[in-house]
Amino acid sequence: MTDRWTDRLSEYVDGQLAAPEREELEAHLGTCAECSAVLEGLRVVVERARTLESAPPADDLWPAIEARLVAARSEMGAGASAGDPDTATAPPPAARRSIVPFFRPAFRFSVSLPQAAAAALLLALLSGGGVWMALRHASGVAGNGVAARPGVTGLIAATGEATTSPRTSPVIDYVAPGATNAQYAGFDPSHYDVAIAELERTMHEHRSELDTSTVRVVEQNLAIIDHAIDQARRALAADPASPYLNGHLAQQLRLKMDLLRRVTDFAGPRG
Amino acid sequence: MALPALLVMAIGKGQQPTPVEAAGDVQRAAGGDLRAFERLYRVHVGRIHSLCRRMMGSEEAPELTQDIFVRAWEKIGTFRGESQFGTWLYRLGVNVILTRRSQHAIRRGRMNDDPEALETVPTRPSGSDHRLDFDRAIEKLPDGARQIFVLHDVEGYTHVEIAEMLEITAGTTKAQLHRARMILRRHLEGARQT
């Protein structure tokens, strides 16, 4: 059972009631055993929360973190010391940020075309799984009003993290994985389509300059990415405003564009 | 190279760096010194991991903890020393967590916001660790209420700060906090009666 004071008890515990309300509530507590009991219970909860202790993870996570940092450093070509973290002195992270933003696909600068194609395949497969999940839950998109909110820009700005404002430009040239997919809700894929069409045309022009095995690998990967794009478009037809699906489609288009660029770059200098 | 967590804890006990040492490690890490960054990791991993576990659950906490430290390495050059490094790191950690939560909410289509969700928590066996039980109960809270409860009552953020982070009103954060506390109160009373 609750009365009009029950929902104010937390504010009372936190000392947030104005003096007149506080006095009125205190008078009420003198006559209401139930509210007094709830108040005592709330105080126990607050005290428990304050005295919770931190605990490290069961397994040491540092080796995995170190591996990621060393790998990123190696991919940035930080020098021969990259493999020796004990003596390595990399450029300050602030300086490196301008070279390789966090999460930017590192293979862009450092791997072969077949490796890029394999990476594209893997990403398309993984992302395709995401669409499948989204489609499964498409009928239940309701969400929690608090947690489902996409924007955390105020806090991001407070820590100096790069903020990604919703794009107003018609061209989305980089899907930052750290950004919320909501920022891509309603984006116009036609701009990607134009760029992709141009790259495809260029690729076909230089097709004869590539060896057949490379062409085969590239075409297989493009087919898989196209399938993922097709899935995303079909899912979007049912739920055009879905931030996740828009973000996913943008990622797949970007993936395709990156692969085509690598192919054309690869073929270009030889032609 | 890698030490088991318990061994690391044992070695690290009693070896907390002084503020001067910590500041030096921050500076060295900003210059690319991985060993200095590892020392910062050792100091702060417990709280970061606990934050992740309470906000996102035990299953996701290890990966999320990794992501936060990788992000911190990327961003440490932006740390200006105007606050404690730990404060900056936790704030960055909350950013990463909230971004992940937003992505999850979108992907899953719905959050665990069942007000009766906690009713399914098994009753604490007699003699079990009260703190552990309370931590598990927090993990079972409905998502919105849990997020605000952890940020306010565990991490000490104000309603105004939380409202800004989540882009909601302070009134909403107060209501969700009260909701979380009431659920936990019922859970503790239920456990006491068994």
The answer to whether position B36 is within a domain reads yes
Query: Can you give the pLDDT at residue A228?
Result: 79
CA distance A173 to A184: 12
- Contacting residues of A for B32, CB less than 8 Å apart: 78, 88-93
Q: Is B116 on the interface with A (CB under 8 A)?
A: no
- Interior/surface letters B39-54, b for 16+ CB within 10 angstroms, e for the rest: bbbbbbbbbbbbbbbb
Least confident among A61-75, A83-97, A225-239, B90-104: A83-97
The answer to whether position B1 is within a domain reads no
Both B102 and B116 in one domain: the answer is no
Instruction: Please indicate whether residue A41 or residue A70 has the higher confidence score (pLDDT).
Output: A41
Q: Are B90 and B155 in contact (CB under 8 A)?
A: yes
The answer to whether position B13 is within a domain reads no
In the listed set B52, B84, B110, which residue is the last one of a domain according to the structure? Answer: B110
| Interhelix angle B34-56/B130-139, nearest 10 degrees | 70
Question: B19-52 pLDDT, tens per residue?
Answer: 667 788 999 999 999 999 999 999 999 999 999 9
Chain length of chain B: 194
In the listed set B110, B127, B147, which residue is the last one of a domain according to the structure? Answer: B110
Both B44 and B71 in one domain: the answer is yes
Question: A2-52 pLDDT, tens per residue?
Answer: 678 888 999 999 999 999 999 999 999 999 999 999 999 999 999 999 999
Both B100 and B138 in one domain: the answer is no
Instruction: Give the CATH number, domain containing residue B57.
Output: 1.10.1740.10
The answer to whether position B180 is within a domain reads yes
The answer to whether position B104 is within a domain reads yes
Query: Can you give the pLDDT at residue A271?
Result: 36
CA distance A256 to B9: 46
pLDDT of B160 > 60? The answer is: yes
pLDDT band (50, 70, 90) for residue A155: very low
Both B75 and B149 in one domain: the answer is no
Query: Can you give the pLDDT at residue A129?
Result: 59
Both B68 and B100 in one domain: the answer is yes
ipTM for this model:
0.79
User: In terms of residue numbers, what domain contains B128?
Assistant: 111-194
| Helices and strands (H and E) in chain B: how many | 9, 0
Chain B, window 4-33: residues with a beta carbon less than 8 angstroms from a chain A beta carbon: 4-5, 8-9, 30-33
Both B106 and B22 in one domain: the answer is yes
Whether the pTM exceeds 0.80: the reply is: no
Number of compact structural domains in chain B:
2
Instruction: Give the CATH number, domain containing residue B158.
Output: 1.10.10.10
The answer to whether position B12 is within a domain reads no
The answer to whether position B5 is within a domain reads no
Query: Can you give the pLDDT at residue A263?
Result: 74
Give Cβ neighbours of residue B123 (< 8 Å, ≥ 6 apart).
Answer: B190, B191, B194
Both B106 and B121 in one domain: the answer is no
CB atoms within 10 A of CB B80: 8
Q: H or E stretch including A24?
A: helix A19-29
Residue located via tokens 């893997």 = A122
pLDDT band (50, 70, 90) for residue A219: confident
Both B76 and B41 in one domain: the answer is yes
Both B95 and B154 in one domain: the answer is no
Alpha carbons within 13 angstroms on the beta-carbon side of residue A40 total 8
The answer to whether position B11 is within a domain reads no
Both B23 and B105 in one domain: the answer is yes
- Contacting residues of B for A62, CB less than 8 Å apart: 2, 8, 38, 41-42, 45
In the listed set B78, B110, B142, which residue is the last one of a domain according to the structure? Answer: B110
Residue of B nearest to A10 (CA): B178
Query: Can you give the pLDDT at residue B8?
Result: 40
* Helices within chain B (DSSP H only): 5-12, 19-30, 34-56, 61-75, 85-108, 130-139, 143-149, 159-166, 170-193
- Contacting residues of B for A53, CB less than 8 Å apart: 50, 131
Both B29 and B81 in one domain: the answer is yes
Q: Which of B8, B78, B102 sits opposite A152 (nearest CB)?
A: B102
Question: B50-76 pLDDT, tens per residue?
Answer: 999 999 888 889 999 999 999 999 999
Please judge whether A143 and B105 are an interchain contact, meaning their C-beta atoms are less than 8 angstroms apart: yes
Please judge whether B102 and A149 are an interchain contact, meaning their C-beta atoms are less than 8 angstroms apart: yes
- Contacting residues of A for B94, CB less than 8 Å apart: 155
Averaged confidence pLDDT in chain A? 66
pLDDT of A1 > 60? The answer is: no
How open is the CA angle A105-A110-A112, to the nearest 5 degrees? 105
What's the mean pLDDT in A57-66?
A: 93
Distance (Å) from the C-alpha of residue A67 to the closest C-alpha of chain B? 10
CB atoms within 10 A of CB B102: 22
